[in-house]
Amino acid sequence: MVLPHTPQKAQQLPRTEPDQLWSEPIDSPDYIPRHMKRSAASQFPILEVIQRLLYRLKPMPSGGNLENLLALIGLYQAIHPLYRLLQDLCIRAFTVQVTIPESDPIAKEVLAWMGSEVILTSRTRSAMLVTGGMQDANDNFHRHMMMARGPRIGIDKVDSEVLCLPPIGTRLFWIGFRPFIFSRRGGSSYRNNSVIAGNFVDDSGHLQNSLTIMTLGWSLKPLQDFTTLCHKFKIKNLTGTTTVYFAGGGSGDPYGEGWQSVSKAIRKLDTIDMDEDTKFDLIRDAEYYYSEQSRSFFADCGIPYRRGYLFHGPPGTGKSSFSAALAGHLGCDIYHINLATGSISDGGLHRLFLGLPRKCIVVIEDIDSAGIGREQAPSTTEAPPTAPTLSIGIEGMYGAGMPMHMPRQASGQGRRNMVTLSGLLNAIDGNASQEGRLLIMTSNNPDALDSALIRPGRIDKKVYFGNISTSAGKSIFKRLIGRSALAHDAAFTMAQIEQYASEFADKVPANNFTPAQVQNFLQGCRGDPHQALREIDAWVEENRSATGASGTSETSTSFMSHPAFDPIHGLLDNDSDLDSLMEGEGMA
């Protein structure tokens, strides 16, 4: 008899239906799905090795305690995304924050306050240590800030000094009973973000190379008060210093702002050896420009609140030094722009001027060497066979036979300049240019400058810095030799120093040497009046200019302002002068 074949029932494995939401049935015996345990085991393979060792010591039918550990790890991995989501929701709902690019001046103030008031005064477990002068041009700024904490930071031992700054990461600190969270982000790879123009963010949308300050609440006022506190801390501890900004951050600057800064000791005006009447006139004019009376005058007359100087003369006569001393005297920052580098374009120059504060001094150095000329427009008439040549004075500068207003780079020498004359003029006094700045241009050859660049309204005052005079020679001797001699040798008296200074000034021919040349000689005398008087005659013979004295025919100071505006008193002669002045501004 043949029995019918009955197939054995195969073992049924749990399978996931196509429309099932979870990867394992919810009626499985464990609370933690096995696929989460497997994920934890694959993430920590050492646990499997430990489990095998324990099994050989004491065989167990199941995973034992290590399986419970895998369950805890799997539970953590499941909860962590929810925790991050709730954390982000709480941060957005109950906190306020500000983000500051590290290239911004206020970021430097915040870093200095954090380094001095938080890092150095608490039991911190992390910090960024940098050797003074090796890491950043701003080290001098941070050094002055940390000096407020006491003598632990030796400013005289600059070479071996170590600065303590906040590290990359997050830090909790308290001001009174309010908590703050400080975060510092860094990064070397960036992607451009069209929303944050000129800045760079990471893949999570966070601004790179930036500081973030966060606190509880729904108002930004506590954060504004904190930045004000950092600024007051800077003002308190940086008394006697001037912040000098240099244009040309280049491609290495991820924020595209192009300013690098360094803090320097204020240059006193009495250390500038020049004609005293010219110096006093410039100081008085600049002080009036930043007075309330001047602001009211510009506003009432509808004149753009700007002022410009042209300092011209031979190299080494103190043009840049006086600019720095004037900034220290006025209590404002100074911004240096060198167009001759060829690394600044019209757009970059415009952005530099837009980022200027309302009160500052902008110095465009050696404007004549930048090679900026008037653009050649196509002529509608028949051109002559040969291009007009420069006048005799300009031929010596650019070479004979070159077209009028042709930039120096046209001859193929030097680096191509990316700034055009129209771009420079728009940045200086265009409709979108910043007001409140004091512009200073320096030039060794003002005759090479385009007339549109130095017209009244752009350049209000031209000042000639010439070779050293007899009175200036006496002044520089007393400053470099007299002060040191009186301080280190009690045998010298003030009357003797006055006599030595007069003798020295008589030995130096007037208007023949630059202040830099005389200063270099006196520095080599190391404060010894007798050595200076003994060696000056030989030095004069050795360094006497072959062309002789330059003479005194050069006008030391000339006003370029419109007659309707007195730069000292700000008075109008009559209504007709005001009308002509407004017409002149419109023609610009």
Half-sphere exposure in the Cβ direction for 130 (13 Å, CA): 16
Query: Is the Cβ–Cβ distance between 324 and 362 less than 8 Å?
Result: no
193 and 175, same domain (yes or no): yes
Helix (H, G, I), strand (E, B) or coil at 557: strand
Half-sphere exposure in the Cβ direction for 132 (13 Å, CA): 17
Please state, in angstroms and rounded to a whole number, the distance separating the CA atoms of residues 539 and 113: 50
Q: What distances in angstroms separate CA 269 from CA 276, 423, 433, one per listed residue?
A: 10, 34, 30
Among 464, 494, 526, where does a domain finish? Answer: 464
Closest to 96 in 3D by CA, of 205, 179, 210: 179
Residue 154 lies in a domain: yes
Residue 451 lies in a domain: yes
In a 10 Å sphere around its CB, with 0-12 CB exposed, 13-18 middle and 19+ buried, how is residue 224 labelled?
Answer: exposed
Helix (H, G, I), strand (E, B) or coil at 382: coil
Domain assignment of residue 174, given as a range: 95-239
391 and 330, same domain (yes or no): yes
562 and 431, same domain (yes or no): no
Residue 77 lies in a domain: no
Residue 561 lies in a domain: yes
Please state, in angstroms and rounded to a whole number, the distance separating the CA atoms of residues 133 and 20: 65
108 and 188, same domain (yes or no): yes
Please state, in angstroms and rounded to a whole number, the distance separating the CA atoms of residues 265 and 258: 23
357 and 497, same domain (yes or no): no
**Residues belonging to the chain:** 588
pLDDT of residue 551: 44
By 3-state DSSP, what share of the chain in percent is helix, strand and coil, each rounded to 5? Answer: 40, 15, 45
Which residues contact residue 229 at a Cβ distance below 8 angstroms, ignoring those fewer than 6 apart? 113, 175
Query: Is the Cβ–Cβ distance between 255 and 101 less than 8 Å?
Result: yes
The tally of domains found in the chain comes to 3
303 and 440, same domain (yes or no): yes
pLDDT of residue 308: 94
DSSP string for residues in 236-276: HH-TTEEEEEEE--GGG-TT---EEEEEEEPPPGGG--S-H
Residue 87 lies in a domain: no
Q: Rounded to 5 degrees, what are φ and ψ at 127?
A: -160, 165
438 and 316, same domain (yes or no): yes
Closest to 330 in 3D by CA, of 433, 438, 257: 438
Q: State the 10-residue block means of pLDDT for the chain, 588 residues long.
A: 49 54 74 81 82 75 69 85 90 91 82 84 71 50 54 44 72 91 71 43 68 92 93 79 76 53 85 89 95 93 92 92 93 89 84 85 88 58 44 37 40 60 87 84 90 90 92 91 86 90 92 91 90 92 63 48 43 41 41
Query: Is the Cβ–Cβ distance between 465 and 317 less than 8 Å?
Result: yes
Our CA angle for 173, 179, 183, nearest 5°, is: 55
Per-residue pLDDT tens over the stretch 530-541: 999 999 999 999
**Which two three-digit tokens encode residue 213?**
């300050």
**Which two three-digit tokens encode residue 327?**
């900034």
The answer to pTM > 0.75 is no
Among 427, 448, 464, where does a domain finish? Answer: 464
384 and 366, same domain (yes or no): yes
- DSSP code of 389? B
Per-residue pLDDT tens over the stretch 563-585: 334 444 444 444 444 344 344 44
Checking 566-571 for CB contacts under 8 A at 24+ apart, the result is 567/285, 567/288, 567/289, 567/307, 567/460, 567/461, 568/284, 568/285, 568/288, 569/288, 570/288, 570/293, 570/294, 570/297
344 and 398, same domain (yes or no): yes
- The CATH number of residue 363's host domain is 3.40.50.300
386 and 500, same domain (yes or no): no
Residue 176 lies in a domain: yes
